Amino acid sequence: MTFSDDFVVPTFSVAEIGDDQRWSTWPATQPLERGPQPRPDWLVTGAAAIDTELGIVKTGKEADVFLLERAVPDDVTLADGSSRTSVLAAKRYRSAENSDFHRGAQYREGRRTRNTRDGRAMARGSSHGRAVQAGLWAWAEFEALSRMFERGVPVPYPVQISGTEILMEFIGDGRTAAPRLAQVKEDGAALWPLFEQVSEILLGFARAGFAHGDLSPYNLLVHDGRVVVIDVPQLVDVVSNPNGVALLERDCRNVADWFARRGFERDPEQIFAECLGEVF
């Protein structure tokens, strides 16, 4: 029997964990809570790793996205070939009135805290309902990311899910997030390569029988000329969802309209027809 480095008990003296840190939540995740294999080589899986909160990328209505560094301390020897540090995006669905990841002790306790909060939320009734909902959204997004990643659609690699938090590949340079499509400066014919990639994303979803469901220039990131699609919890089954076809058409129109406003005219009906051709 062989053991992966996930299960090696750290032998170094207990490092000081700051208010903005926690032990890596990787070792506590179950196989189904981890992203598809093979895992990318940048992924840090060592049990000695520490997660450090580096800041907020974006706050939203249902979820907030944070920047997280997962790193193995310098004094820990690593298995050959395993990664020492990686920057991740942590998307946290809101489960209650406020998100409390920042509140020191609860943050550090990780999983156990979540269970305690679940217990209290359950006692309160209504907020437990919200917690469950947040967990379902997180699962839906994690599964959608995994599914699309495996099909080769350019999404951030989904690292793991823990309750209402998804950790995924951070798209950007170092600690700077990649701009959204809405923020790129190109216009006119210069948009052609970006349009081609966005079309391929639409078609990639369609080949799997899905529409993104909320596709817009805010859910497309552009990193070094490469388009990555994000924000997929509401992935729509085009066939079984009564609104599936309409939502697919809306995705196509949102995208085509944005390109047209930037001086790159494309017929939304044609993209839509191509997508439908892939679904049916």
> How many angstroms separate the CA atoms of 13 and 15, rounded?
6
Q: Which of 44, 49, 57, 271 binds ligand ADP (CB under 6 A)?
A: 57
Q: Does position 91 bind Mg ion by CB under 5 A?
A: no
- Nearest by Cα to 202 from 214, 212, 216, 193: 212
Kindly provide the residue ranges of all beta strands, DSSP E only, lying in 170-239, ordered along the sequence. Answer: 172-173, 176-177, 210-211, 220-223, 226-229, 236-237
Q: Does position 63 bind ligand ADP by CB under 6 A?
A: yes
Whose structure tokens read 């209290």?
Answer: 120
Q: Does position 68 bind ligand ADP by CB under 6 A?
A: no
Please indicate whether residue 74 is annotated as part of the active site: no
Name the minimum Å distance from CB 159 to ligand ADP: 10
End-to-end CA, the chain: 47
Name the minimum Å distance from CB 276 to ligand ADP: 26
Q: Does position 135 bind ligand ADP by CB under 6 A?
A: no
Please indicate whether residue 231 is annotated as part of the active site: yes
Would you state the structure tokens that stand for residue 128, as one six-digit string?
Answer: 């437990």
Contact 42, 86 (CB under 8 A): yes
Whose structure tokens read 């939203």?
Answer: 60
> How many angstroms separate the CA atoms of 258 and 263, rounded?
9
Choose the catalytic residue: 214, 237, 251, 257: 214
For residue 241, which phi and psi values (nearest 5 degrees)? -85, 125
Q: Determine the residue with CB nearest ligand ADP.
A: 60
- Nearest by Cα to 174 from 56, 67, 81: 67
Q: Does position 65 bind ligand ADP by CB under 6 A?
A: yes
* Binding map of ligand ADP across residues 179-208, x = CB under 6 A, - = no contact: -x----------------------------
Our CB check for ligand ADP shows the closer of 113 and 197 to be 197
Our CB check for ligand ADP shows the closer of 144 and 248 to be 144
> Which residue ranges make up the site for ligand ADP (CB under 6 A)?
57-58, 60, 62-63, 65, 89, 91, 156, 168-172, 177-178, 180, 218-219, 230-231
Active site residues: 214, 231
